[in-house]
Amino acid sequence: MAAEGKGKRKSSPRGFYSRALDEAEKLELEEASHVEGIDEEIALRRVKIRELLEEQPERIDLHFEAANIIARLVRTRYQITKEQKKSLKEAIQKVLTEVAVPLGVGIGIKAASK
């Protein structure tokens, strides 16, 4: 029964970390918990690397590190599993066979079914 209650409890970003954060940080954490994906992180890193290039042009080591971070974030953002790729391919094929073909759209059907 205890396990059931635990699964139903809504997690709060303020709970575990609340003792380590001041009120402003708690509000920021609450706001950050609603962000999905990593697009904003990628954009922020791009802004920060530009600042780094302007403020410390001689720190090539930091430029490479920042670029590697962006590369990892972008790779993560666009990475899909083999199963997701298969599902996407099947969905495209279904659209082509059920919608495009009956409408007379035949261009690219053979290429998409490979």
* Entry pTM: 0.53
**Which has the closest alpha carbon to 66: 48, 88, 40, 79?**
48
pLDDT at res. 12: 54
Judged against a pLDDT cut of 60, whether residue 104 lies above it is answered with yes
pLDDT at res. 14: 52
Average pLDDT over the chain, rounded to an integer: 77
- pLDDT tens for residues 73-100? 988 888 878 888 888 888 877 777 777 6
Judged against a pLDDT cut of 50, whether residue 103 lies above it is answered with yes
The residues spanned by each domain of the chain are 81-114
pLDDT at res. 9: 46
Residue 99 in tokens: 């919608």
pLDDT at res. 81: 81
- pLDDT tens for residues 33-66? 888 888 999 999 999 999 998 999 888 888 888 9
Helix-helix angle 60-78:39-55, to 10 degrees: 170
